[in-house]
Structure 1
Amino acid sequence: MMEAELFEMTDRLKNPDQNTDEVRIDIADLITRGLSEFEYSLGYWEKTHYKLAISNLKKNIWLLDEYSTAYLGACLLCIAGAHVALEHRSVAFVTRDIETEALTWDDLMASIGLVRDQLH
């Protein structure tokens, strides 16, 4: 399900007539649903990717060029990265940091909740 939604969202970003505000809301919803899949199994890999996805969404919201979709595209890549199967992950590639290690599922849900509040 997540893969189909990511492809659909990517296609929407390519459409010059797309409503950026609606896409942002839908991406925030996608992050929320994606995080829900990891409520009881959130590992460092998922924390890293969802932390970056939320950060990219925030950057897009705060850009002066409200129609830019570069950060939204990066956001979708991060969401996709969080869902890479274990056997295809390169954990050596991910540099561990204390801040990310300390993140909880509740922290990430609160963070995306704040972003969603800004969008509505």
Structure 2
Amino acid sequence: MELSEFVEETLAQILQGVRAAQKREDGTNIAAEGMYGKITDHLLITGDAAFTVVDFDVSVVAETKGGGKGGIKVWGIEAGGGIDRAVQNTSKVKFAVHLMLPTGAKQPPASPLPERNKDWVA
């Protein structure tokens, strides 16, 4: 898998997971719009949106095959047949992406689960 495909798919699946969690009965306070609270290293809340940081720490393989064509791929195990001459260099890549979270409920829910709502700050 190419590194760009890995990043794209990972971020898309994170957003899909957040949206799916918001649709659950108890999901109305997930990434709620207008929510203000503690600002940590991995969460930035602006007036209209909340952003989180997704940290990536992946091993990549830079490979050059017999024909001279190369590329960078996310490290994994791949089986193949045939004889092919290849040179591989493995490196670790660390980077972070700021991801805007989908908005949820406009107000904290009046839930029978007070322990889930105790951290809401207006």
TM-score, normalising length: structure 2: 0.25
Larger Rg: 2
Instruction: Determine which structure has the larger strand proportion and give its number.
Output: 2
Task: Please identify which structure carries the higher helix content.
Answer: 1
TM-score, length-normalised on structure 1? 0.25
